[in-house]
Every structure is written in C-alpha cells, then in structure tokens.
Chain A
Amino acid sequence: MSDENENRDMLICRCEEVTLGEILDAIDEGFVTVKDVKRATRAGMGLCQGRSCSRTIARIISERTGKSLEEVLPKSYRYPVRPEKMGAALSREGEDESNN
C-alpha cells in the first residue's frame, strides 16, 4: 500500500462500489475484521456476497493492522452461497410442488 494515496479511488467491492480509500478509513476507525468492514462500508454485501472481494479485504486489513488472515476472515458462511431465484428456492427435486 505504499502508493496508497494514488489508489484510494480503486474499487475493491465492485458490487457495492466501495473504494480502497473507504476501506482504509474504516480500518483506521477500528473496524478490523472482514465482517466489521462489511457492515461499516457495505463492501461484500452485494450480489456476489464478498466472494470476489473478501480475500482482498482480508489482505488489506492484515497489512494495515498486522493481524493474521485467520483473525480477520469470517469463520462461517451462510446459505445461500450463490444467488438463486426465489421461485427456484422453493422447488426441490422429489418434493411436492403443488403448494407453490
């Protein structure tokens, strides 16, 4: 991050359009895990749910704070791991769909 100032406008979370600068500011305000940063900036709350950016954010936090990646990465992932249509979420193979 030596050329941090030039890169502050770089998009880290493309879904929610969160920049490196916004993420660094959040870290400096004390939000020092991927989850903290997500809730403080919306980075990782969008369509991809952080699948693209959460490792990058983890590395940024780790570099900035000296914490290990394990400390800053979330320990669990919630269902669904991929977006799915609401209609599709109801129908499952071998199940009765007549209620739908």
Chain B
Amino acid sequence: MAKGLDVVIVGGGIIGLAGGYFLSRKKKRVLVIDKGGFADGASGACDDMILFQSKKPGINLELTFESLELYKRLIVDFDDEMQFKNLGGMVLIENDAELAIMEQFVAEQRSYGLDVEVIGQQDARKKQPFLSDHIIASTYSMMDSQIDPFHVMRALEKHGLKLGMGIQRRNGVVAIERLGNGNWSVVCEDGSTHEAPVVVNAAGAWAPSIAQMVGATVPIVPKRGQIVLSERIPPIGETNLWNAKYLVTKLHKGTEVQMTDEERELGLSLAFTRSAGNTYLMGSTREYVGYDKGTTIAGIRGIIDMTLSYLPKMKDVGIVRAMAGLRPETPDGKMILGEHKNLDGFYTAAGHEGDGIALAPVTAKLLSDLICGNPIDRDLGELSPNRFGGMAHE
C-alpha cells in the first residue's frame, strides 16, 4: 500500500491533470491514475476552443471568463504559449428566424459583459470571403480563443511532476474502498493500492462507473463527437466558425429549423476551427451510442456535407483523418464539481461536455480551493454532485 498521498485523482484527461497541477501547487501530494495512454479520451479528440459564444448567460459563461484569465496566467507561469490564439469567432445565421433568436441571445450575452455583436452579410464576407451566399448574417466576437489541448496537458503534467505529482497510465482503477482509518483505498488493475483521504473522480464520460465503486450516482452520459481534420492549408478566413442552427434549437426548445434527416440523426452542427497544426478541425456529431468511440462513414460524410454547405470551396481541400471523443454530458448542461454527500473526501470533477478544454483551469482552481478548504467567492451549489437528488446512499 502506497502511503503518504493527500489526493488520488482518477482520470488523467485535461481535468485530472489540471486538478493535479493546481493541487500540487498547494503542496498536496497527488497521484493521477488513468486507464489509458496520454490524451486517450475526450481531451485528445476535441477542438481547442475557449468558446464564449455558445454559452448562455449564467455560471458557464462566468466560469469561461475566469478560465481564460487562468490560462493567461498559466502561459506566464509556464513561460509557454501553448499555442494560445485569439482569432475570434462567428456564428453563421441562415434565415430571419435564426437572426431574431441570435439577436436576442447576443443582447443577453452583452449584458453579461461578453463583447459580441451581430454583423451583416457584407461584413461577414469580409472576414470570411469563402462563405456560402445563403448566409444572411453572423455574430462576431473577438473574445473566442483557443489553446492546444495536447500542449496544455503536456505542460500541466511536466510542471505537476516537477512539484512532485505522480502519474500512472495504462492502469485502470478497479475498486475504491473506505478503510478503517477513514481514508480511501484505490485499487488498480495491476494490483497496487493507493491510500489517501481524498479521491477525485475526474473520469469524464467514465465518471459514473468510478462513482458506482463508492455507491454514488453521477448522471453523466457519453455523447460521441466525431471530428474531421483537414490537411494543412493557409487560413481561409479571419475567425473560427459555428452555425446558429443547432444553437437556436438549444436556446428555444421547439424552434423549427430546417435540418436534413442526416443532420438530425447525427446531431450535426458546425464547428470549424483552425488547429495548432495549421489544419482545420471540422465537427461535429452529437450521438448517443454508449461508449463506442469509433468514427463512422456516415458521420464523416455528414460533417463534410455540412461544412461544404457553408464553405463550398473546401471541396478541393484534403482530409487526413477523423476522430471521435465521448463528451461527458450532464442533465442540465453544467459540470459536476464538489464533494459527495455522505462520502467524506470523495469528489467528482467531470461532466464538462464540450467545454473541458475551456473550463479545465477554473475547474482545477475551484477543486483545489474546495479540497484545501479555501474560501470561494461564489456559490457552487448549482455544480454540486448532490444537486440531482438521491445521490449517495451508504
């Protein structure tokens, strides 16, 4: 039995690594355990956005502001840009119904301090010369930023290791038991056990099965997002792009939008972002297919079809690869962060859906404040693992 640990973090994705690094900075002795390799899960099969425009005013938008500031500080602390870019973003609008909803949404976001506006067709085309003619308007925000997940994770790991953090990969957790002294014992596939007063469940889409080991319920569902990668090409526009079509259905339930059967079935919506490798990441699907991380021909063709409908010129660009990640989705679209009721020292930090990269630093900061008992100047009740009711039953 390895002793002397303060915290065992289950899951070495961006949330687990960021948590490990922030806790190590507070002099906690941390071990991060992951069943897979480096960036094997959703953190390695996603885009790189610190995206504001998709957020409804509320805690998710507020936390994104905080996270961006924390990223800027990490860039200074690590003396490493981690491919941070601030290209801004546009949400493409295709008809008057979408325009009306987006105008209202933009007004709400502005009242929350987001620098965003609606721009007309001509201005949109100035920023994106290859846009399809049918785009009637667009939103535009210069705040949407991005940072390379692989680079961030490697840096968090490197600086965490320097502070004494431990990492074990390819060693899944098979059991978590409460010891007589009140500590948790985390049992791994290789037979090793690790004792600590605090365990953090940062297993993303797999968080429910980790929670189950201590009799807790975490209502996270894996949602598959397929992404297609282009070959390396020069920038074809100023900003990254999304479409309003999917967003408006989320904002106004029951809004009638024109979607093909394919779009509906695959949950397709556009995310067109320039990656650290000067390629374009094109996504994405939103599929409920359990823990199947495979890419599908239908998904890839659906994404290509959709992308070409906004950017017809891309037909001459090559694709080199497709990938899929399982976004951990919660019932209310907010992450799960906090200690479980009746399970002293058992925390969950998971359920970021498509915002794990954007929200990793602020999640880690709050997690470390919770565990260290530092004052937190915000009510985290709406993120609590106990908000769903009937959670822990010991």
* Identity of the chain B residue whose Cβ is nearest the Cβ of A16 in the assembled complex: B277
- Given A39-B38, A39-B44, A45-B277, verify A84-B319 contact (CB < 8 Å): yes
On whether the beta carbons of A49 and B304 are closer than 8 Å, the reply is no
A54 at the interface (CB under 8 A from B): no
What A residues does B44 contact at CB under 8 A?
39
The stretch from B208-216, B264-272, B309-317, B373-381 touching chain A is B309-317
Q: Which residues of B contact A40 (CB under 8 A)?
A: 38, 150, 154
Known: A46-B232, A86-B314. A78 touches B295 (CB 8 A): yes
Select which of B38, B315, B317, B320 is within 8 A of A80 by beta carbon: B320
Q: Are B167 and A86 in contact (CB under 8 A)?
A: no
CB interface residues, B 290-321, toward A, < 8 Å: 295, 297, 300-301, 304-305, 307-308, 314-321
Complex contact A86–B37 (CB within 8 A): no
CB distance from A69 to the nearest CB of B (A): 16
Q: A79-B297, A79-B300 are in contact. Are A87 and B232 (CB under 8 A)?
A: no
Query: Nearest Cβ distance between residue A58 and chain B, in whole angstroms?
Result: 14
Q: Across the interface, which residues of B come within 8 angstroms of A47, CB to CB?
A: 231-232, 318, 320
Are the CB atoms of B232 and A90 closer together than 8 Å?
Answer: no
Considering the chains assembled together, what is the distance between the CA atoms of A83 and B314 in angstroms? 14
A84 and B158 contacting across the interface, CB-CB below 8 Å: no
Q: Interface size for chain A: under 10, 10 to 19, 20 to 34, or 35 or more residues?
A: 20 to 34
> Does B133 sit at the interface, judged by CB under 8 A?
no
CB distance from B22 to the nearest CB of A (A): 20
For A85, list chain B residues within 8 Å (CB).
315-319
Q: Which interface residue of B38, B161, B315, B319 has the most chain A CB atoms within 10 A?
A: B38
Alpha-carbon distance A35/B169, docked complex (angstroms): 13
B37, B232, B305, B314: which contacts A33 (Cβ < 8 A)? Answer: B37
Give chain B residues whose Cβ lies under 8 Å from the Cβ of A79. Answer: 295, 297, 300, 322
Of chain B, the residue at the smallest CB distance from A81 is B321
- Closest Cβ of chain A: how far from B330's Cβ, in Å? 26
Other-chain residue from A39, A45, A86 in contact with B317 (beta carbon distance below 8 A): A86
User: Are the C-beta atoms of A90 and B305 separated by less than 8 Å?
Assistant: yes
Q: Does A29 contact B (CB under 8 A)?
A: yes
Contact with B along A24-63 (1 / 0, CB 8 A): 0000011101011001101001110100000000000000
* Nearest CB in chain B: distance from A21 CB, A: 16
Nearest opposing residue in chain B for A48, CB measure: B320
What is the minimal beta-carbon distance from A54 to any residue of chain B, in angstroms?
13
In the bound complex, residues from chain B placing their C-beta under 8 Å from that of A1 are none
Cβ–Cβ < 8 Å partners of A89 in chain B: 300-301, 304, 319
In the complex, what's the smallest C-beta–C-beta distance from A68 to chain B, in angstroms?
Answer: 14
Shortest distance between the CB of A85 and any CB in chain B (Å)? 5
Check: B392 CB closer than 8 A to any chain A CB: no
B322 near A42: Cβ-Cβ < 8 Å: no
Contact of B277 among A29, A42, A80 (CB under 8 A): A42
Name which residue of chain A comes closest to B167, CB basis.
A30
Question: Nearest chain-A residue to B312 (Cβ)?
Answer: A87
Name the distance in Å between B191's Cβ and chain A's nearest Cβ: 19
Q: Are B277 and A46 in contact (CB under 8 A)?
A: yes
**Between-chain CB contacts (< 8 Å), 26 pairs:** A29-B161, A35-B38, A36-B169, A39-B150, A40-B38, A40-B150, A40-B154, A46-B232, A47-B318, A49-B320, A78-B321, A78-B323, A79-B297, A80-B300, A83-B231, A83-B319, A83-B320, A84-B318, A86-B230, A86-B307, A86-B317, A86-B319, A87-B316, A89-B319, A90-B304, A100-B308
Residues of A within 8 A of B (CB): 16, 29-31, 33, 35-36, 39-40, 42, 45-47, 49, 78-80, 83-87, 89-90, 99-100
Q: A46-B277, A47-B232 are in contact. List 9 more A-B contacts (CB 8 A).
A: A39-B38, A46-B320, A78-B295, A78-B323, A83-B318, A83-B320, A84-B319, A85-B316, A86-B318
